[in-house]
Chain A
Amino acid sequence: MNESLNLLVALAMGLNLVALGSSRLPSLIRVVALQGMVLGLVPLVMEHEVRGMVVLVAVATVAMKGLVIPGLLRRAMRTANIDRDLFPLVGFLPSLLIGAAGTIGAVVLARWLPLLPEHHETLLVSGALASVFTGLLLLIGRSKAISQVCGYLVLENGIYLFGMLLLGSTPLLVEGGILLDLTVAVFVIGIIVDRIQRAFDTLDTRKLTVLRE
C-alpha cells in the first residue's frame, strides 16, 4: 500500500516541477488539473478497506480539481482573451532550480521532523511541504491572475496532502468543506478576472500597483 501511495505522491511532486517549468497558461492549467486528479486518488490507496464515503470524496475531488476548476479557469482565460504566455517574475530555470532545492529541502525537513512512526515511511509530509512551497513559489514568481490561481491550487493540494495524515481521525466532511471553499474562491476569481480585464484591459497584476494603499 505504501508503495502505491508513495508513487502517487512522487508523481505529484514531479508535477510540481513541471508546473514551475511550463511557460504557457494552458499547459500550466493542465498540469495543475493532473496533479489534482492524482491527489484525488490518494484516499483510495490509503484506506485498508474502501468505504463508500472515501470513494465519494475521491470522486468529488477528482471531478472538482481535475475537471470543474480547470474548466472554469479555461473559460475565464477564453472569455477574458488572455495572452497565453506567462511572464515570469522569476525565470523558468531559476524557479525550477529553486523548486528542486525546495523539494529536496522538504524531504530533508520531513525526515527531521518528529513524526509518528507510520508516517516516516511515506512521502506524504515531504510531498505536502513541497507542494506548499511550489504553490508559494508560483504565487511569487508568476504575475498573471490566472497563474496565481494555479499557484493557490497547488498550495491547496499541499494542504490537502497534510489533511491525508489525519484521514483516520477527522471526518472527510472537513476536506469537502475546503474543496467547496476553493471552488467558490475560483468562481469569484474567475468573475473578478473578467471584470479586471474589462476595466483595465490587462490582467498583469504588476500593472495594478497604482491601486495600492
Chain B
Amino acid sequence: MTLGGWIALALALLLGGGLAGLRLPRVWLGCTLGGTVALLVAAFTTLGVGVDWVWQSPWSLGGERVHLRLDGISAWFLTLVAVVGGTGAVYARGYWPDQAQPESAGRGRAWWSVLVLCMALVLLCSNGLHFLMAWEAFALAGFFLITLDRARRETRAAGWLYLGASHAGTLGLFAFFSMLAARTGSWELGPMRSATELAPLFWVALFGFGVKAGLFPLHIWLPSAHTNAPSHVSAILSGVAIKMGLYGLVRFSGWLPLPKGAGWVVLGLGVASALMGAAFALAQNDLKRLLAYCSVENMGVILIGLGAGLLGLADGGASWGRMAMAAALLHAWNHGLFKSLLFLGAGSVLHATGTREMSRLGGLWRAMPWTAGLFAFGAVAICALPPLNGFVSEWLLYLGLFESAAGHAPVAIVAAIIALGVTGALALAAFVKAGAVVFLGAGRTRATRDAHECGWWMRGSMLALAGLCALIGVMPLAPWFFITRSLASWEPGWSGIESPPPLATLGLLHLAVALAFVLAALALWRRAQAKGIRRELTWDCGYSAPSARMQYTGGSFAAIASGWFRWVLRPERQMRRPRGLFPAQSSRVERVPETVLERVLGPAGGVVMAASAWVRQRQRGHLPDYILYLVAGLVAVGALVLAGSWR
C-alpha cells in the first residue's frame, strides 16, 4: 500500500472510531487501534525512507486547497500521537468503562478518536488556514475530554481555564498565520528561510505555541487540566497534546527565518520552565498535579535543547547544535512515553483508592505490585537515570551543551548546564517523594485498605509503554537513524550526520546495567525464596507502638528543598497547634497555589473587573451624564488632534 493509502486508511478509521465510540466500544477500540497502527506505519515509512509525502486536493475548503504534507518532523511527532493514542485507548477500556461511567464513557471514546484525528491533521496540514481549523478542533476535543467528569466543580473550572488559555494561544496563532499570509500573499506553508522580513513573526508564534506547550509563565492552564482530567486523558494531554505546541515551534523555527536572539530567548524560557516546573512539582501533594508540573519541567528541558539547536544554527550549523536539537527531539519522544506511563500509573492508583492526595495514600505496593513497579519504572526513566530512555536524551543534551560551552558564550551555557543539573536533582527528589509516599511505608488512611490491582487492559497498556522506554534505553542507536531524517527536514544542511560515537558505547553500558539489575533482582528473589520473608513494619524508628500516621508525609519529605523556592511557591499555611496538657484536635494544612495564576493573573484580572464595574456604574441612564461623556470624549479627541498637529 502506498503512503497516501495508509494515511487515508488511518484518518478514515479514526473518523469511524469517533462515530462508533458512542455506542460500540469494541468497534471503537478496533478502529482506533487500527488507525493508530496505520499512522505509525505511515510515520515510520516516511522516517525510514526519507521521502516526504505531499498531497493537494483538487477541491478547496474555505477557499484554499487542502494541502497535506508528511515530512521528517511531522512524522516524528506523528509516531508519538499514534503510540499514546493507541495505548491510551486500550487503557480507557479498563479505566473508563461503560459499567462505571455510564454517562460519559461513550462521549469519552468518541472524543478520544476525534482528538487523535485532529492532532494527526495538525501535523499533516500544510496550509495556514487548515492548520488553524485542525488546531481549533484539537483544542475543543481536548476540552470535552478534560470535562468528561463534568459533575465535579473543579473539573468544570479546569476545563474553562484550559479553554480560555487555549484560545488566548490560538489568538496568537491567528495573528501569526494571518500576518504570515499577508506578507507572503498565500496561506500555503513551506520553507521560507530566505524571506528575512518574516523574522519578527517568530515571537508571535512563540507565544501562540508556547501556551499550548506549557512554557513557564504561560503554563497556567496545565496543572489543573492535567489533574482533573481522567487519567488516560491526562496522559495524552501531557504526553502528546503539549508536544503539538513544541511541534509548532520546531516546525516554524525550521521554516521561517529566525530573529536575532531567538536561540537565547528559547534557551532562557527552557531554563525557567525546567527550574520552576521542578520546584513546583516537588511541593505538590496531589499525585497528578505533581506529574503535571513535571511536564512543565520536561518541556523546559526540551526547550533548552531547541534553544541550543537554534544557537548552533545561528553559529553556522555547529555540530553541538545538531546534538542539542537531536536531544530535544528524542526527549520529546521519551517524555511522551514515560509521562504517559506515569499518568496511567497514577490513574491506576486513583482507580483503586479514589484519591490523588498523597498524604492519604501509602503502602500500596503490597496491593498493587504491577502498578507500583511500572510507576517506579517510569519514575526512573523520567529522572533520567540509566539504563532507561530519559538518560539517553538528557545525556545527549549535556553533551551538546558541554561542547558548545567550549566555544560559544561559555558563561551563559554553563549557567544553563547548572540549571539543568539542579532541575534533574529536584525532579529526582520529587519522584522519590511520590514513589515513597504513595507506594512504600504503610497505608495512611482507610482509602488504601480496599486498594486492588488494576485489570489487564490497564496493565497491558502500561507494560507496552514501559517496554518502549526500555527499548530506547538499551538501544539508543535505533532512534538515532530516525532523528537524522527528522533533522534533515528541519534543516536541509544537517542531513546525513553521524551518530556520536559514545552512543553505541552507551547502549552497551545500558544493556550491562540492565542485565546487572535483572540478575541482582533474580538473586535477591531466590534468596528470599530460600530463607523466607519476614515482614516488618516500615518506618519503625524505634517507637514501641508506631502508627501509620507517624510516617514522613510528602510535605515533610520535601520541606527543605521546597523551602529554597518559598519566594515563588508562596505556600499558604493554616495551623492549629496543640496546646495545654490535654491538647484538643490540632491540624496543619498547607496548600501550594499556582503562583502565576493566583498571584499575578488573578489580581490583574481583578483590576480589569473592578474597572469594568466602575464603567458599568457610569451607565445610569442620566441623559446629562451621557452628554458629559460625549463632551469629554470630544475634548479628548480634540486634544489628541491638537497634540498631533503640535508635533
Contact = CB atoms under 8 A, between A and B. Distances in A.
A206 B631 CA distance: 19
B619 interface: yes
Most chain A CB within a 10 A radius of its CB, from B625, B627, B628, B631: B627
Contacts of A211: 621
B621 A140 contact: no
Nearest to B619: A212
B411 interface: no
Nearest to B621: A212
Contact of A208 (B621, B625, B628, B631): B621
A212 B627 CA distance: 15
Nearest to A137: B631
Contacts of B625: 140
Contacts of B622: 205-206, 209
A213 B625 CA distance: 15
B620 A141 contact: no
A139 interface: yes
Interface string B622-645: 111101100100000000000000
B627 A140 contact: yes
Interface residues of B, number: 10
A212 B625 CA distance: 13
Nearest to A136: B631
Interface string B546-560: 000000000000000
A140 B631 CA distance: 10
A104 B473 CA distance: 85
Interface in B3-45: none
Contact of B621 (A141, A142, A148, A209): A209
Interface in A22-55: none
Interface string A184-211: 0000000000000000000001101111
Nearest to B628: A140
A213 B619 CA distance: 9
Nearest to A132: B631
A139 B621 contact: no
B620 to A, nearest CB: 6
A143 interface: yes
A213 B616 CA distance: 12
Contacts of A206: 622
A89 interface: yes
Interface residues on chain A, size class = 10 to 19
Most chain-A Cβ atoms within 10 A of its Cβ — which of B624, B625, B627, B631? B624
Contacts of A205: 622-624
Nearest to B623: A205
A133 to B, nearest CB: 9
B195 to A, nearest CB: 46
Contacts of A141: 624
A24 B621 CA distance: 25
B623 A148 contact: yes
Contacts of A213: 621
A69 B136 CA distance: 62
Interface string B591-627: 0000000000000000000000000000111111101
B620 A139 contact: no
A163 to B, nearest CB: 19
Contacts of B631: 136, 140
Nearest to A145: B623
Contacts of B621: 208-213
A139 B624 contact: yes
A142 B622 CA distance: 11
A69 to B, nearest CB: 20
Contacts of A143: 624
Interface string A134-169: 001001111100001000000000000000000000
B635 to A, nearest CB: 10
A209 B620 contact: yes
Contacts of A148: 623-624
Interface string A114-147: 0000000000000000000000100111110000
Contacts of A140: 624-625, 627-628, 631
A28 B622 CA distance: 22
Contacts of B619: 212
Contacts of B628: 140
A139 B626 CA distance: 10
Given A136-B631, A140-B631, A212 B624 contact: no
A130 to B, nearest CB: 14
A139 B623 CA distance: 8
A187 B628 CA distance: 25
Nearest to A209: B621
Nearest to B645: A114
A211 B628 CA distance: 19
Among A140, A148, A208, residue most surrounded by chain B Cβ atoms (within 10 Å): A140
A211 B620 CA distance: 10
Nearest to B631: A136
Interface in A67-95: 89
A139 B619 CA distance: 17
A205 B619 CA distance: 14
Given A136-B631, A140-B631, A89 B624 contact: yes
A89 B623 CA distance: 12
Contacts of B624: 89, 139-143, 148, 205
A37 to B, nearest CB: 26
A58 B272 CA distance: 78
Interface string B376-404: 00000000000000000000000000000
A42 to B, nearest CB: 25
A57 B126 CA distance: 71
Contacts of A136: 627, 631
A148 B628 CA distance: 13
A179 to B, nearest CB: 22
Given A139-B624, A213-B621, 12 more contacts: A89-B624, A139-B623, A140-B631, A141-B624, A148-B623, A148-B624, A205-B624, A208-B621, A209-B620, A209-B621, A210-B621, A212-B619
7 contacts: A140-B631, A148-B623, A148-B624, A209-B620, A210-B621, A212-B619, A213-B621
Closest 10 CB pairs of A and B: A212-B621, A209-B621, A140-B624, A140-B628, A139-B627, A205-B623, A136-B631, A140-B627, A89-B624, A209-B620
